[in-house]
Amino acid sequence: MAQSNILPFNEFNVKQKIIESLSNVCTRAVLFSVKNEPKDATQIADELKLSLSTVYKTLSSLEDLALVEVYRFIFSSEGKKIKQYRSRIDRAEITLKETEPILHLYPNKKS
């Protein structure tokens, strides 16, 4: 199987932050809730039964790590601009070779 990384990992620190983030069940739930279709924070919070503030913090962290992206902006009936997020990854694999973790991220091809 061909391996595909969507991010260059030149620094151990970035890779370690992604691995730590993916080890959190809440983070994984948020990330993969937007894998197949873009959603806004309120939709994610409702679907996962999480507080809106938790979802916003999680999305911010995932966005900083380039694991999610703002797919588009929509406007509410009140004219408020709302971000819809989408996962940039379809799946992640973490393996260990001796003491060094190896991270493979596979791009999300869904639009």
Residue 15's pLDDT band, with cuts at 50, 70 and 90, is confident
What is the distance between the alpha carbons of residues 15 and 61, in angstroms, rounded to a whole number? 14
Q: What pLDDT score was predicted for residue 1?
A: 44
Please report the domains of the chain, with CATH numbers, ordered by start residue: 12-107 (1.10.10.10)
SS3 53: helix
Task: Indicate the pTM of the whole model.
Answer: 0.82
Residue 72 has pLDDT above 70, yes or no: yes
| Stretch 5-10: mean pLDDT | 52
Whether 7 shows a pLDDT value over 80: the answer reads no
**Total number of residues shown for the chain:** 111
CA–CA distance, 56 with 51 (Å, rounded to integer): 9
Q: Are 110 and 35 in contact (CB under 8 A)?
A: yes
Percentage of residues of the chain with pLDDT beyond 70:
88
Residue 64 has pLDDT above 90, yes or no: yes
DSSP H helices in 11-111: 12-22, 25-33, 41-48, 52-64
Please tell me the predicted confidence (pLDDT) of residue 4: 52
Residue 37 tokens, joined: 């279709």
Above 90 in pLDDT, residue 100?
no
